[in-house]
Amino acid sequence: MRQSKTKHLLAAMLITGFATMANAQKKTTDLLIKLAPGVNTATVLSGGLLTRSSVIEPLGDQWVRVQSSERRSDLLETLKNDPGVEYAQPNYPIRLLEDYRPADPLRRVAMARYAAKLQAKARPAPPKTDNPAIPDAPASLKPGLDPDLNKQWGMLDIGAAEAWKVTLGSPDMIVAVLDTGVDYTHEDLLPNLWRNTKEIPNNGIDDDGNGYVDDMIGWDFVSNDNKPYDLAVDQFQLLTGGGNPGHGTHCAGNVAAKGGNSLGIAGVAPDVKIMSLRFISDKGGGTTAYAIKSIRYAVDNGAKIMSNSWGSEGEDPAAGAENKALRDA
């Protein structure tokens, strides 16, 4: 009798285990669809095109993001054949253009082992805390030449010094950096951060009614909060496993590191303002949906220029693929 109960218990445990494994392996289908004119998300759900369990997120201009438990190939086929849908595509991954890992896999393994030995000897790192608070804009600047300006060969090549005789860029010009975020505590960037003057800091209210609470300098679409801080991986992680080396901060410095303040470098337009938008994570990847939301935020909040130093999947003409959602945005 006891042996029979044991067998039943083991069978139940196995079935539960297999079910758990199946659920873990089951991936959510993530698509972007463009609804036909006159069609809205309520129409799509009421028409039975998508199940009630589907998560639908509007992206603007008739584009919506759909997350569903249905198999991707089946759902794509259904959507493409529906008259209420103008276009359907995967929510293609976005990635940084550079990959700093060595191409030789044996060298990567060797570096990983070496890094592991060093980490074992090192003191344990303190636990990660929340992103730093956004500092106030500095009240005054220390005038003087930027000490590393003569090392900026790119600036010399494009003749930036001659251009600066005409203009340093207008403080009214907002440049959105859509990337891994920006180190908004960096002393050479802090004076040129765009500030949302329509928002009252840290009151937990969306004062300007743009859909984002306390968005003082931009937005983090990865974490969905108001601190678009550039989370960079360490050098060993970068070389052995890839990731973000501080790419967004680097791009922001190229655009508008403050000039003539006796610090670091100068940007190409050292008087313009930087809007910080994070949609690529510390792993170096993001999604088309987050890119689209970043683009829309930039345009809706006054940016006239965008820095987009990244690449998208779904852009291979030979494969017949097209990231139409991103192109439309």
3-state SS string over 32-45?
EEEECCCCCHHHHH
- Distances in whole angstroms, Cα of residue 100 to Cα of each of 96, 104, 240, 285: 10, 12, 9, 14
pLDDT at 3: 55
How far is residue 117's CA from residue 114's CA, in Å, rounded to a whole number? Answer: 5
- What pLDDT does residue 166 have? 95
- All residue ranges of the chain with pLDDT < 70 are 1-26, 44-49, 51-53, 123-129, 319-320
Question: Comparing C-alpha atoms, which of 225, 194, 196, 203 is closest to residue 306?
Answer: 194
pLDDT number for residue 80: 84
Helix (H, G, I), strand (E, B) or coil at 200: coil
Tokens of 269: 């337009």
Tokens coding 186: 């960096």
Closest alpha carbon to 210 in 288, 273, 299, 325: 299
Query: Rounded CA gap, 275 and 185, in Å?
Result: 14
Beta bridge partners of 68: 29
Q: Could you tell me which of 224, 288, 310, 294 has the C-alpha nearest to residue 31?
A: 288
Strand 63-68 with 55-60, pairing? antiparallel
pLDDT digits 0-9 by tens, 114-151: 777 777 777 665 555 679 999 999 887 888 889 999 99
Instruction: Supply 164's token pair.
Output: 């600066």
User: How wide is the angle at C-alpha 313 spanned by C-alphas 308 and 318, nearest 5°?
Assistant: 120
Question: What phi-psi label fits residue 305: left (phi over 0), alpha (psi between -120 and 50 degrees) or beta?
Answer: beta
Identify the residue whose tokens are 């030979």: 318
Q: What is the reported pTM?
A: 0.85
Angstrom distance (rounded) from CA 323 to CA 89: 7
Residue 53 in tokens: 């369990």
Q: List the one residue out of 276, 314, 308, 275 whose CA is nearest residue 291.
A: 308
| Predicted pLDDT at 27 | 75
Q: Do 79 and 56 meet the contact criterion of CB atoms below 8 Å apart?
A: no
To which H or E segment does residue 175 belong? strand 174-179
Query: Measured between alpha carbons, how far is residue 318 from residues 26, 32, 89, 313, 328 in Å?
Result: 30, 21, 16, 13, 20
Per-residue confidence (pLDDT) for residue 129, from 0 to 100: 61
